Structure 1
Amino acid sequence: MPTYDDDLRLAHVLADAVEPTSTSRFRADDLHVTAKPDLTPVTDADLAVEEIIRGQLKRARPRDSVQGEEHGTEGSGPRRWIIDPIDGTKNFVRGVPVWATLIALVDDGLPVVGLVAAPALGRRWWAGLGTGAWSGRSLSGAKRIGVSGVSQLSDASASFAGWHTWADLDRRDALVELMDDVWRVRSYGDFWSHMLVAEGAIDFAPEPELAVHDMAALAPIVTEAGGRFTGLDGTDGPWSGNALSSNGLLHDEVLARIGDAAFTE
């Protein structure tokens, strides 16, 4: 099995490089916000962070391709870095500290490195293929994390994306019934729900609408923590346009309740 330690260290270097930019623009009075064609917001911080990461990757990994939320894909080949410069832009714009820079490496279609850097929360989460999942402020202050052992829905704590994102009303009704059966429900949102799954604070988190750049860094962290990360169709990884992360023990039961197969005749 190839090792990705150097790539993981590089991901931390990239996160270090952009943190001064992202944190200085958070809650800045002159933050510039525009709307993309899909009407989602983009800030000057999103653009600047992605440009910094692309520039460093061009120097450090010139043969790798780069896919970012704001500037598309450059290059080709089996190794692809996938970047979300500010995941949680709406939070960022409103001054809510739940936002992060997501950095992933996909090798031959498999997410092998993931790093989530949330400087306003003072936390990072990261993983490399075969090396476990970790959290802390830096590599030197890391603690290994793992998913929970909860195996019954009635004992489970869950987080789900906001109601307005569940456009399929049948699936929304099924979600309500599912959440009625669990012990505790919250909506932590964005990357944070899935990182809480990885560290065992909650037990599963479904989201109905996501892009690859929203998920690529999350998948290896959840799986290296001992959990599962699939689409609502049950496909492993960040490729389905939606996601379910879990501790693994509850995954099939949740898919049976709100997954694609539950609505296919």
Structure 2
Amino acid sequence: METDADLLLAHQLVDLADEISLRHFGREPLSRHKADGSPVSEADLAVEKAVLAVLAAQRPGDAVLSEESGALSASARRWIIDPIDGTIPFLEGRRDWGTHVALEIDGELRIGILSRPTEGMRWWARSGAGAFASSSAQPLSTTNRLGIPRFAVPLDRARVGGFLFPGSPFETVRDRMLWVDSSVCLVADLLEGRVAGIVDEGGNVWDRAPAALLVREAGGEVDDLHGGGRIDRPWLVYTADGLARELVDLVREVTG
């Protein structure tokens, strides 16, 4: 079971990551392309190095899965880290990027945090305790508890966004809803009722871990198209209650 100290540590990791990434933001950090074609910058690597050092010192027995270093050791307790989620917008000077930190215990997500450093905001959840939005100045504040409002109108009136690959099969059906092309934080838009669904194609575990816990704890639904909510499958759909069946059925239809 996670502890209050784990939650505090998770926020401290995000504090550290935000500080380092903002130090590099807008200064054209060095970058290169990885084997899969995605970019990695010196800021990504600096954030990861600092976060891993803290975990090695404070949780030496825990496993870590991080985007740039992969899986480090094995344990029932695993920290999942995305140093900078959204490296492309980060390098382009946009605002839709941040750090993801999650703690998984015995295969169950227990803590999840995602941040938007340029906004001074983060969204976080603890399993069984709810989901919250807070400022970087008061990260542990529970004043703003999140609850995704139920969606009670047809899909063609729903605002839906997505994380899609170029040429995605889902692009062919986006006109069936009110598609959202861009956002500072699409997951926060769902958590705060500005969109009713998100379609995620091919995301990695470190991309999805905080969002999956946040959406569940805020009363939404997470569906992997197989009747569950696994975050390691090709497609994942996050929705407000009331929209899940229609949106998931559509994703199944276009993806086969």
Q: TM-score, normalised by structure 1?
A: 0.88
Q: CA deviation at 1:39?
A: 1.2
Alpha-carbon contact 2:102-2:111 (below 8 Å) kept: yes
Residue 9 of structure 1 corresponds to 8
| 2:63 aligned residue | 65
1:125 is matched with which residue? 123
Secondary structure of the 1:243 match is strand
CA distance in 2 between counterparts of 1:111 and 1:7 reads 13
2:65–2:78 contact (8 Å) kept in structure 1: yes
Matched with 1:146 is 147
**Aligned partners of 1:102 and 1:116 also within 8 Å:** yes
Measured in 2, the distance between the counterparts of 1:39 and 1:13 equals 31
Name the count of aligned residue pairs: 252
- Who is 1:106 aligned against? 104
Q: SS at the partner of 1:47?
A: helix
Q: Report if the CA contact (8 A) 1:162-1:187 is conserved.
A: no
Deviations along 1:115-149, whole A, 9 cap, x unmatched? 00111122100000011000021223741111122
* Structure 1 residue ranges, 4+ long, deviating more than 4 angstroms after superposition: 261-264
* 8 Å Cα contact 1:229-1:238 kept in structure 2: no
- 1:57-97 residue CA offsets vs partner (Å, 9 max, x unmatched): 11111111001000111111111111000000000010001
- In the aligned structure 1, how far is the partner of 2:30 from the partner of 2:103? 29
Match for 2:248: what amino acid? L
Give the whole-Å Cα distance in 2 for the aligned partners of 1:4 and 1:150.
34
After the TM superposition, which of the residue ranges 132-141 and 98-107 deviates more from structure 2?
A: 132-141
Distance 1:256 1:196 in 2: 22
SS of the equivalent of 1:195 reads: helix
**Is the counterpart of residue 96 in structure 1 residue 98 in structure 2?**
no
8 A Cα contact 2:2 2:105, kept in partner:
no
Residue of structure 2 equivalent to 1:204:
197
Please identify, of 220-229 and 243-252, the stretch whose mean Cα deviation from structure 2 is larger.
Answer: 243-252
SS at match of 1:164: coil
1:185 maps onto 2:179 in alignment: yes
Other-structure match for 1:22: 21
Shift of 1:248: 2.7
In 2, Cα distance between equivalents of 1:141 and 1:227: 19
2:241 corresponds to which residue?
248
Find the residue that maps to 2:166 and give its secondary structure.
Answer: helix
Distance, in Å, in 1 between the alignment partners of 2:35 and 2:254 is 33
Residue segments in structure 1 that go unaligned for 5+ positions in a row: none
Pair 1:234–1:197, CA change in 2 (3 A): farther
Q: Contact 1:26–1:93 (CA<8 Å) still a contact in 2?
A: yes
In structure 1, the partner of 2:166 is: 164
- Quick check: 1:33–1:42 contact (8 Å CA) kept in 2? yes
What is the one-letter code of the residue matched to 1:118? R
1:214 is aligned to 207
C-alpha contact (below 8 Å) 1:156/1:203 kept by paired residues: yes
Quick one: which of 42, 45, 55 aligns to 1:47? 45
What's the C-alpha RMSD, in Å, of the aligned pairs? 1.9
